[in-house]
Amino acid sequence: MRSLLWLVWLAALTATACGGGSGGGIDVSDVRVAEPTGPNAALYFTATSDVEDRLIGAETAVASSAQIHQTVVGDDGTMGMRPVDSLDVAPGERLVLEPGGLHLMLIDAERVEVGDDVEVTLIWESTGRQTVMAEVVSPGETMGHTDG
Amino acid sequence: MFAIPRTLMGILAGCLILAACGGAASTEDLQGVVIDPPQPKPEFTLTDTSGNPYDFVAETEGKLTLLYFGYLNCPDICPVHLAQIAETFDRIPDVARDAEVVFVSVDPERDSPDEIRAFLDNFDERFVGLTGTLEELEAAQVAAGVPTAVFVGEGDDYTVNHAAQVIAFAPDGLSHSVYPFGVRQTQWNNDLQVLAELGS
């Protein structure tokens, strides 16, 4: 019994350490926010889900608001952003927020620094509120580059 | 009697020529989007973050130069480009020493010179920040051959559609390659060293 408790505690600790979060079958991982270099900062993550749901908003104490944005490429090759109302998740699909695509834009972000952890609450239409931890990384690191 | 030494000398001479030529940089070694034929530098003068005029061609003469048009409220694309360049420069300080990174803010309504300076200092204090009137900035973008920025939305929350590529100029004064968004750090690392050798 004692070893079982130990295992449960270890599993809980591991889940916390990984910085992800699970809310009613929605698994959120690789949560990272670019160290703010201007008024706003971008937050990225990957979500998988056992249920159909819809991300309808987000909140964090380190920004005045958080908006879902998509970077889009124009016909003339320019890139710009447009707000998105919601993002769907469904079983068997991956919702990926990454540079050059979808992101949560943290408006008027505080000057958090590389290495800091930021608490972010994702608001799902059915599941409700899900709190995850985001690691602050250099903007260059948000691409997930690996070049040794 | 002299046949062998002559042959050896010939081989030695061949090796020397190969060594001299083999290390030369070539645009074929670039991993960015190669511009063929290479393009000359755009001629424009804007204002730097100290309030002084900055003649792009004159100030960057003989230097590896990276030119990028962006804006400070851009959280997704602009910081990634600049952070990647800064991190690459940290790895190749010999190249960085003689290089010039020029960031042109296309959003003069919101981006003051002081704010541009603070923004760039997040990456590298050597990065040059430029601003100007809307007309001057539009002319600079046209000269650089990039689509001019388009402002979308109203009030303070407008966004800016802007060219997402970094234009690279070798010390020979020509643009040999551009770097659209999505370039990996390994590509920067390779290309900045190749470009630094072109015409230097």
Question: What pLDDT is stored for residue A6 in this prediction?
Answer: 52
Question: What pLDDT is stored for residue B116 in this prediction?
Answer: 97
Which has more pLDDT, A143 or A67?
A67
- Picking from A79, A103, A138, the nearest residue to B164 by CB comes out as A79
Question: pTM for the whole thing?
Answer: 0.81
If phi > 0 it is left, if psi is from -120 to 50 it is alpha, else beta; for residue A38 that is: beta
Q: Which residues of chain B have a CB within 8 Å of the CB of A145? A: 84, 184-186
- What mean pLDDT comes out for the span B156-183? 92
- Cα angle B98, A143, B48 (rounded to 5 degrees) comes to 40
Evaluate if residue B74 carries a pLDDT over 90.
Answer: no
Lowest mean pLDDT among A128-132, A141-145, B55-59: A141-145
DSSP string across A96-138:
E--TTSEEEEEET-----TT-EEEEEEEETTTEEEEEEEEEE-
With cut-offs at 50, 70 and 90, classify the pLDDT of residue A21.
Answer: low
With cut-offs at 50, 70 and 90, classify the pLDDT of residue B12.
Answer: very low
Contact B123 A76 (CB under 8 A): no
Question: What pLDDT is stored for residue B186 in this prediction?
Answer: 93
- What mean pLDDT comes out for the span A31-47? 94
pLDDT in tens, A80-92: 988 999 999 999 9
Contact B77 A79 (CB under 8 A): yes
**Tokens standing for residue A94:** 């991956």
Are A106 and A41 spatial neighbours (Cβ–Cβ below 8 Å)? Answer: yes
| Percent of chain B scoring above 90 in pLDDT | 72
Question: What pLDDT is stored for residue A17 in this prediction?
Answer: 40
- What mean pLDDT comes out for the span B59-87? 94
Contact B83 A42 (CB under 8 A): no
| Alpha-carbon span A46 to A28, nearest angstrom | 6
Are B147 and B163 spatial neighbours (Cβ–Cβ below 8 Å)? Answer: yes
Tell me whether A75 touches chain B (CB under 8 Å): no
- Picking from A39, A78, A99, the nearest residue to B72 by CB comes out as A39
Evaluate if residue B17 carries a pLDDT over 60.
Answer: no
Question: What pLDDT is stored for residue B101 in this prediction?
Answer: 98
Tell me whether B193 touches chain A (CB under 8 Å): no
pLDDT in tens, B146-165: 999 989 888 877 889 999 89
- Complex ipTM above 0.85? no
Q: How many CB atoms lie within 10 A of CB A100?
A: 19
Question: What pLDDT is stored for residue B23 in this prediction?
Answer: 54
